[in-house]
Structure 1
Amino acid sequence: MTSKVAIIGPASVPEADIDYLFAQVRTDRQIVDYSPNCGNMLAAVGPFAIEAGLVPAGNFDTLVRIHNVNTGKIIEAKVPTRKGEVIYLGDASIDGVPGLAAPIALTFLDAAGAKTGRLFPTGKPLDVIDGVEITAIDCAIPMVLIRAADVGVTGYEDAESLSANRQLIDRLASIRTEAGLLMGMGDVSDMVIPKPVLISPAKKGGTISVRYFMPNDCHPALATTGAVGIATAATTSGTVAAQIVGEQLLPTLVRIEHPSGRIDVQLETRNGSTVAGLVRTARRLFEGYAFAKPNERVENAA
């Protein structure tokens, strides 16, 4: 079991408005993993920063420049605001998320090498592990892309069926562990990255179909950071994703099919770097306070 925590504070770099530190809490093992980023949590970071008084709200949409401390990367969030207040009500919908809300546009600026410093940490877009072709990519989050057919599934199964397939989960864990070593990340057994991703040809009019693992269970939809990396792989020559979708020239829209629907990622080039944009939503549910004992320490799995 896991829980997600976003720790927000004043910016420590001049090009940002705020700092965002993400923590993945393993409630079953009392481990806190600071190694990944979380894009879905990013959608809430901008609204929180405005309401906490860290960023002044504009009369119209407010741009919040977020420094992700985990990766050192900058993400821009365009938060709907009116008369100095965050607007949560709107007509934006996201597959896999119930209801409607105001759209929050996220733009990942130069997401390549988020953790390892290189888009392809192994030095090439294609590797072979245990007889299976894989692409080890680090873009927004480190991932291992694998053709579903190469590990004995179609890639169109529902998330519950894939999570229950322990033979598949064990095979993915073995590939992920070896990939972590090739990517220079060392022993990743206590880390949630790199994420294994099964890819297949699109079936519902999209660009590519995916099943994203976290890493030992299949995600019921798709993580935002995962969508950015998958879209980048699909438009980069030589990857297993590019072999499936064919040549894609920027700017382009990559439509990624997942168990709950799809995510659209807009890719373009800005100042020589690939920029990825997508729309998310966030809603304020409750607020409260938590108190910790002085000098209390938490194990860090990073």
Structure 2
Amino acid sequence: MERLVIATRGSKLALWQSNYIKSILEKRFPQMRVELQIFKTKGDKILDTPLALIGGKGLFTKELEDAMLRGDAHLAVHSLKDVPTELPNGLVLGAITKREDPRDALLSQKYSSIEDLPAEAVVGTTSLRRKMQLLHLRPDLKIKDLRGNVDTRIKKLKDGEFDAIILASAGLKRLGLTEEVNYFTPIEEERMIPAMGQAALGIECVEDEKILEIVKTLNDEKSQIETTVERDFVDVLQGGCQVPIGVKATLMDDGDIVARAVIGLPNGKELLKDKIFGTKENYKELGKTLAESMIEAGAKELLKRAEEMAFK
């Protein structure tokens, strides 16, 4: 193949991710020209409204998918947590890259941890999942919506609009921004369970044999197994960005897997947590089994109430 076009968003993080994949492909296929084509997504255009109110699924992927389906691009590099579990006909998730640090992180100019935050401290996040778990740990906190790219969010923190903000560790590490604030504190997964696929890149591409052959060279088996469990869990629950769901699977060196999940109300007053153990051999059943267990414990009803609360 002579020319490969990657559809990408124009944010600094999206461009870093796409250029990262571009550089790998150029090294592996030196005869192939790899180009980036920038598109603006709905999630990039609407910056004054919480994500839950404008629909979670496909906010950062639809325009890139349309470009691939039109034939204007061959693949797109996404933060996997933004990729819906159902893809349009003609497109597939061709590879999942090695994960960065999957944890959320607390950023602050004054406070080094969630415990150090004073009563009624203002914390910025747009994520219902983060809001739910934060308020469960610290119901006295004031949660304020935070939109914009990573630089904009950090600037708002430095300008004193927030006492702390919560962002994904992975994006900050990829952009080299962990030293931009006085305190960068990753939060243990057991305390704040990440979003499905957090810290992995999902390579979505057209369903074409030649393209898939190229894209599959980017796949990381460990990451693919972990995120399959997580995406299967969310798929059974039919939950997206508009409901608070956290799920993280971890594949150990010995082949054992542990998957933790949490759902609940955005105000943190009701949480349902569960975990499941399995092995590499049965990973394709784990996410569904964990979801069904939580559905039996009332997950569907709780998520319905969470969605109603988010849209008020």
Q: Same fold (TM over 0.5)?
A: no
Q: More strand per residue: 1 or 2?
A: 1
Name the structure where helix makes up a greater proportion of residues. 2
Q: Could you say which structure has the greater relative contact order, defined with CA pairs below 8 angstroms and 6 or more residues apart?
A: 2
